[in-house]
Amino acid sequence: MKGLTLFLLFVLGVLSFSITPISIQLGDVSAYYAQEYLCLFDEVSDFTEAEIALITDSDTISVLRSKSLNFAESVRLIGLEVPKIIDSSDPDGSLSNTASDFAREVLVDKKILLSYDSDPVDEFGRILAYVWIPVEYQGETRYILFNLLAIINGYGNACTTCAFDESYMTIFAEAETLARDNSLCIWGEDSSVVEAQREGSAPTYDPIVYITDTGTKYHRDGCRYLSESVVAIRLSEAIRRGYEPCSVCKP
């Protein structure tokens, strides 16, 4: 009898492997989510309440965590990667902007919950987190995973080079397949641009440089113009965000 039960569980597991998309309403935005993962948050035991302070980028946000002092902290969304589009046919990075716009529309003014993986911070000192946002679905408030939401709707791909919880990796990969199959956003008509960008040669010289919250220049480590608010980022990212080289330390 036990063997039969296990077999039936296995069959059900296989049958329910792929994602069943459902439509959810997030303010003015309607988006896809996965029926199967509506209750994913129920498995999370440790989380922090936070408020969105700023959407820096589609995969990076600033938050105020209620358990921390009253200052904004930078959060990198685990497992979500947003292709940076800098291409002659897409000079404004419009696909990235679309992703940022989506993040802004969905996240701004939300009280969110953050949960964490084994690595608390990334190489730039940003908090690594899963971001949960409240939605009303069929008369109930549920917390859905924004990292997953962005991938399902084609605003980013599942990161294949970062290590994170294996069960989430599987879910994110499924979500990416769904978005690709439906040609959503980055997988749509401009996807050749994205593929070319991702497969193209990576910049050979892309060191870590340093910026500050208020400055417009990027610096070498130890430059006297770096204040306490120093943030480490890649050179390519500093240039993309419009920072210019410091004339003193000549990075």
Site residues, Zn ion (CB under 5 A): 219, 223, 225, 246, 248-249
Of 104 and 234, nearer to Zn ion (C-beta) is: 234
Q: Per the structure block, which two tokens stand in for 41?
A: 């948050």
Residues 107 and 109: their CA atoms lie apart, in Å, by 6
Q: Per the structure block, which two tokens stand in for 49?
A: 């309440």
Of 78 and 246, nearer to Zn ion (C-beta) is: 246
Of 71 and 205, nearer to Zn ion (C-beta) is: 205
Q: Work out how close the CB of 248 gets to Zn ion at its nearest, in angstroms, rounded to a whole number.
A: 5
In our burial notation (b when 16+ CB lie closer than 10 A, e otherwise), range 230-243 reads ebebebbbbbbeeb
Contact 116, 46 (CB under 8 A): yes
Residue whose beta carbon is closest to Zn ion:
246
Cα 15 from chain centroid?
A: 29
Of 178 and 246, nearer to Zn ion (C-beta) is: 246
Q: Work out how close the CB of 225 gets to Zn ion at its nearest, in angstroms, rounded to a whole number.
A: 4
What is the distance in angstroms between the CA of the first residue and the CA of the last residue of the chain? 70
At 199, the amino acid letter reads: E
Q: Work out how close the CB of 223 gets to Zn ion at its nearest, in angstroms, rounded to a whole number.
A: 3
Q: Work out how close the CB of 228 gets to Zn ion at its nearest, in angstroms, rounded to a whole number.
A: 15
Q: Work out how close the CB of 126 gets to Zn ion at its nearest, in angstroms, rounded to a whole number.
A: 22
Pick the closest to residue 31 from 150, 180, 177, 173 (CA basis): 150
Of 61 and 246, nearer to Zn ion (C-beta) is: 246
Of 39 and 248, nearer to Zn ion (C-beta) is: 248
Three-class HEC string of 231-243: EEEEHHHHHHCCC
Residue 211 burial (CB < 10 Å; 0-12/13-18/19+)? buried
Q: Work out how close the CB of 211 gets to Zn ion at its nearest, in angstroms, rounded to a whole number.
A: 10
Pick the closest to residue 72 from 211, 213, 210 (CA basis): 213
Pick the closest to residue 178 from 166, 168, 187, 190 (CA basis): 187
Q: Work out how close the CB of 66 gets to Zn ion at its nearest, in angstroms, rounded to a whole number.
A: 36
Of 7 and 225, nearer to Zn ion (C-beta) is: 225
Residues 75 and 112: their CA atoms lie apart, in Å, by 12
